[in-house]
Amino acid sequence: MPRRRMLTLRGTGALLAGIGCIVAANLVGAAILLYIGLLLLALTVFALIAVRAPRRSGSVTRQVSTDLITVSETSRVTLRFALRALRVPRGLWRDVLPDAVSGDAAGEYPPETGQLTYLLTGVRRGVWPIGPLMLRTVDPFGLAQREQAFGETRTVTVVPEVFTLSPLTVKVGAAGGTAQTSSSRLGQGSDNLSPRGYIPGDSMRRIHWRATAHRGQLMVRQEEEESSPDALVVLDRSAARWRKTEGEADPAFEAAVSLCASAAVHLMHEGYGVDVIDSAGALLGTLRGHEDDRDGLLVALALVTPRGDARDLAALVGGTPPGPLVYITGEIDEEDAALLRPAGAAAPMLFASGPLAGAAAAAAQHGWRVATLGDDIAGAWDDALPDRVSTAPVEPERSADGTR
């Protein structure tokens, strides 16, 4: 954050003019120029003392109207600024904002309402600091200025935008999209499953805490008694699929993250239990119908970046296939698409931001519904929906005489 100069442009001009008058007075022997020069220098020094000498301290508290700010969403920030000084200065305040958010975070001080407020809009997902609060004051002559920082920074989390998607045309999966199952392929079984002893390598998510407390040793749920999740969303964030950028967001990857969040939230609202993982098998979030689950997933997706390599999809799915399977990837060629097997999923949907020639056809041969992911996320979802199953009654054909 660049520091402002102590003198304004007017103050710098007054200082230079004063020095020039003193030099000219010595050259031409005009006493009036000497007086004018000394007056300008005295005014400049007085202005500096007036703005720099007073001791000021203060505290800042910020309150954001929403805990999580969605990309393109606007929230209100309220600042309470308690300034301790001999007198209340008049000047301009501004809150330091990163490029990832936008807002008119400036105004006159002191405000008429007694509070400092402004609107904040998310521009790029991530966790970003806002602040400190800067107070800029100028002397009555406009020659000197002082900008002082108050308070600490506060972080705001900008999460990907969640779009409204069209409903699935058919209900698929073990629960048919009508209930949230409590068990999970990733180790969330119900408490009445038969436990067994912990073996090194077992996931900590599979620990049966009630049985552990009863027996005094770590117990885990039986793997064969765990039911699969209703839906699975996979975000392929392997580095080879995405364009490398230096400090800038890749629009294709941002669209993929937004689709990942939208698809997971949409499937949850349709009644499915949803697991969201990346292409390496790391769990990004689980949705079982709770608002906290949704927020946890969005926070995880706010920080996700392209990295690593992808694992085989069949290994990610496991032995029991899910119902809806959403796979989101970037640039994919025909050979890579041919290796993507939906592993028995009832409704596999493949989204690629950069499918090369032959990739869509190769994936379709394995049963994928393929769509190209661009700016229109909802449109891409519609393109990949499974074929509609007609439920309307069929009207009998009429004979020539009008009878049925």
Task: Judge contact between 172 and 347, C-beta under 8 A.
Answer: yes
Q: Do both 196 and 245 map to the same domain? A: no
| Percent share of the chain, pLDDT over 90 | 57
Segment 233-279, tens digit of pLDDT? 999 999 999 988 777 889 999 999 999 999 999 999 988 999 999 99
Do residue 39 and residue 65 come from a single domain? no
| Domain at 356, CATH number | 3.40.50.410
136 and 280 in one domain?
no
- Which pTM was predicted? 0.75
Classify residue 149: in a domain, yes or no. yes
Closest CA to 103 of 113, 94, 115: 94
Burial class (CB in 10 A: 0-12, 13-18, 19+), 201: exposed
Both 308 and 176 in a single domain? yes
3-state secondary structure 105-125: CEEEECCCCCCEEEEEEECCC
Residues 240 and 284 in one domain: yes
Segments forming the whole domain that contains residue 133: 57-159
**pLDDT, tens digit, 9 for 90 and up, residues 328-385:** 999 999 999 999 988 888 889 999 999 999 999 999 999 999 999 999 999 999 999 8
Q: Are strands 195-197 and 219-221 parallel, antiparallel or unpaired?
A: antiparallel
For 175-180, the CB contacts below 8 A with 24+ separation are 175/230, 175/271, 175/272, 175/273, 175/323, 176/271, 176/323, 177/230, 177/267, 177/270, 177/271, 177/272, 177/323, 178/271, 179/271, 180/230, 180/268, 180/271, 180/272, 180/273, 180/288, 180/289
State both tokens at 385: 């929906």
Same-domain pairing of 197 and 295: no
237 closest CA partner among 250, 221, 223: 250
Total domains in the chain come to: 4
Q: Do 172 and 317 belong together in one domain?
A: yes
- C-alpha closest to that of 40 among 27, 24, 29, 55: 24
User: Same domain for 256 and 205?
Assistant: no
Cα 78 to its chain centre, rounded Å, is 21
pLDDT band at 400 (very low <50, low <70, confident <90, very high): very low
Backbone angles phi, psi at 93, to 5 degrees: -115, 155
Residue 3 lies in a domain: no
Helix axes 251-269, 291-302, angle to 10 degrees: 170
Q: Is the pLDDT of residue 210 over 90?
A: no
282 and 333, same domain (yes or no): yes
Helix ranges (DSSP H) in 55-123: none
Considering the domain architecture, whether residues 194 and 169 belong to the same structural domain is answered as: no
Residues 341 and 361 occupy one common structural domain: yes
| Whole-number Å distance between alpha carbons of 310 and 328 | 12
